[in-house]
Amino acid sequence: MSKSITFTVQPSESLNGEVRVPGDKSMSHRSIMLGSLAEGVTHVKGFLNAEDAVSTLKAFRAMGVEITDPVNGEVTIHGVGKHGLKAPKEPLDLGNSGTSMRLLSGLLAGQDFDCILTGDESLSSRPMRRVTEPLALMGANIDTQENGTAPLHIHGTKNLKGIDYVLPMASAQVKSCVLLAGMYANGETTTTEPAPTRDHTERMLNGFGYPVQVEGSKASINSDGKLTAANIDVPSDISSAAFFLVGASIAKDSDVTLQHVGMNPTRTGVIDILRLMGANIEVMNEREVGGEPVADLRVTSSQLKGINIPEELVPLAIDEFPVLFVAAACATGQTVLTGAEELRVKECDRIQVMADGLQTLGVDAQVTADGMIINQSQIGGGDVHSHHDHRIAMAFSIAGLRANAPITIQDCANVNTSFPEFRDLATSLGLKLTSE
């Protein structure tokens, strides 16, 4: 965040080639957390060496866990066991990572030490009551700022009690936070979610030998289990692959294959939505790696058509909407998104910021309370702001594939939080992207 990076995209013709995008961010976070609390040595392959996941790694180092520096996506974690963490000497600075803060607040609520979780300006404005309120029901003692934001002062306690928590909104981070706290709570902790969200926490806990019972929308855990070291192979992040799924769909004469992409059914909403819009996406070489489904995806050019996006797919594609809005601008007719209020409390208000940028580029995009209405438009050139949001910056880069003039995108340093290789991979496939 200290240095400003500006992307400039020249109108580009097509995308072609075969690439493997970096490892899944959600799973990279969880591999560090659970590997640190496991007994024994955990080896991770495919770790996302980007700022958000590294924030989690540094936090566990600060609590006494020996973790090697990531080299070519490989990390070794010397687990300290479920009760082996030590009090950090300083506040834990989690940068821009909401996943780190929300999941750690659950893990740390039941420790026998106090700590403070802080982050950058963006993270310090994001809502944290959604995790501190259920944790308080469990007996946790966490102080927030007056408006419920970070820094979070966590006063560790040995007296957490299990709860049966019905989530008021579909949120994998809230669900995971409560389940991780449940590892330290007396009795059983159960979460019930209103719609399916990503289930990496449940899968990985089971992969480390810690029993989690999942029945429909309910997941249950108690404090009896222990984590045993495991080898983790992190698939490529479908949220990062999404930029190229959209790019190859909207650019003419395109043919892109994305290797080893995580196909967890709680994450594939972007594929379902693009297919409803008429995208040509072929799923090849399906396999399972470490309890997670993986496949190669081949996508070729298509004429997308506007749709009403089914609300049940919204939580399964929540991080992919910035680039899906670009797809909508290129789709014949009208695309309508509803039920996506959650987009307003991400790294920025992604609904408003995307609409502002699309309008700057000449796109007919109208904001609604819980979504957006986009009509097919010619994308023009212009100067847009990402508001330090990595997914906004990358989405407007992909818009260059259908723009008739250069697009300049301000504040792109945060692309490093999730996808440091974005520029290099995008240009290798044919996007005319420069940064300064």
φ, ψ of residue 260 to 5 degrees: the values are: 55, 45
HEC states along the chain? CCCCCCEEECCCCCCEEEECCCECHHHHHHHHHHHHHCEEEEEEECCCCCHHHHHHHHHHHHCCCEECCCECCEEEEEEECCCCCCCCCCCEECCCCHHHHHHHHHHHHCCCCEEEEECCCCHHHCCCHHHHHHHHHCCCEEECCCCCCCCEEEECCCCCECCEEECCCCCHHHHHHHHHHHCCCECEEEEECCCCCCCHHHHHHHHCCCCCEEECCEEEEECCCCCECCEEECCECHHHHHHHHHHHHHCCCCEEEEEEEECCCCCCHHHHHHHHCCCEEEEEEEEEECCEEEEEEEEECCCCECCECCHHHHHHHHHHHHHHHHHHHHCECEEEECCCHHHHHCCCCHHHHHHHHHHHCCCEEEEECCEEEEECCCECCEEEECCCCHHHHHHHHHHCCCECCCEEEECCHHHHHCCCCHHHHHHHHCCCEEEC
**Nearest Cα to Cα of residue 63 among 137, 2, 154:** 154
What is the token pair recorded at 206?
Answer: 């089971």
Strand order from edge to edge, sheet including 114-118? 92-93, 114-118, 152-155, 141-143
Catalytic annotation present for 319:
yes
pLDDT given for residue 287 in this prediction: 94
pLDDT at 1 over 60: no
8 Å CB contact between 258 and 19 = yes
pLDDT tens, position by position, 77-106? 999 999 999 999 999 999 999 999 999 999
pLDDT given for residue 348 in this prediction: 86
CA atoms within a 13 Å half-sphere pointing along the CA-CB vector of 73: 20
CATH architecture of 25-233: Alpha-beta prism (3.65)
pLDDT at 323 over 90: yes
pLDDT tens, position by position, 242-253? 999 999 999 999
CA atoms within a 13 Å half-sphere pointing along the CA-CB vector of 71: 6
Mean pLDDT of 33-44: 98
**Nearest Cα to Cα of residue 32 among 58, 10, 51, 5:** 58
pLDDT at 238 over 60: yes
**Rounded distance, CA 300 to CA 150, Å?**
44
Mean pLDDT of 195-219: 95
pLDDT given for residue 418 in this prediction: 85
Residue 320: band (very low, low, confident or very high) from pLDDT cuts 50, 70, 90: very high
From-to residues of CATH 3.65.10.10 in the chain: 7-23+235-435, 25-233
pLDDT at 39 over 50: yes
**Rounded distance, CA 19 to CA 246, Å?**
15
Residue 62: band (very low, low, confident or very high) from pLDDT cuts 50, 70, 90: very high
For residue 185, give Cα distances in angstroms to 53, 94, 388: 26, 25, 37
What is the token pair recorded at 173?
Answer: 């981070």
pLDDT at 290 over 80: no
pLDDT tens, position by position, 222-233? 999 999 999 999
Task: Confirm or reject CATH 3.40.50.2000 for domain 7-23+235-435, answering yes or no.
Answer: no
Catalytic option among 319, 364, 389, 424: 319
What is the token pair recorded at 221?
Answer: 């855990």
Does this model's pTM top 0.75? My answer is: yes
pLDDT given for residue 47 in this prediction: 96
Mean pLDDT of 315-338: 97
**Rounded distance, CA 362 to CA 357, Å?**
9
**Rounded distance, CA 230 to CA 31, Å?**
9
Which distant-in-sequence residues (6+ apart) come within 8 Å of 135 by Cβ? 105, 106, 109, 142, 177, 178, 181
Lowest average pLDDT, out of 120-134, 163-177, 338-352, 380-394, goes to 338-352
pLDDT at 406 over 90: yes
Which distant-in-sequence residues (6+ apart) come within 8 Å of 348 by Cβ? 122, 387, 388, 389, 392
Residue 143: band (very low, low, confident or very high) from pLDDT cuts 50, 70, 90: very high
φ, ψ of residue 5 to 5 degrees: the values are: -125, 130
φ, ψ of residue 334 to 5 degrees: the values are: -125, 140
Averaged confidence pLDDT in the chain: 96
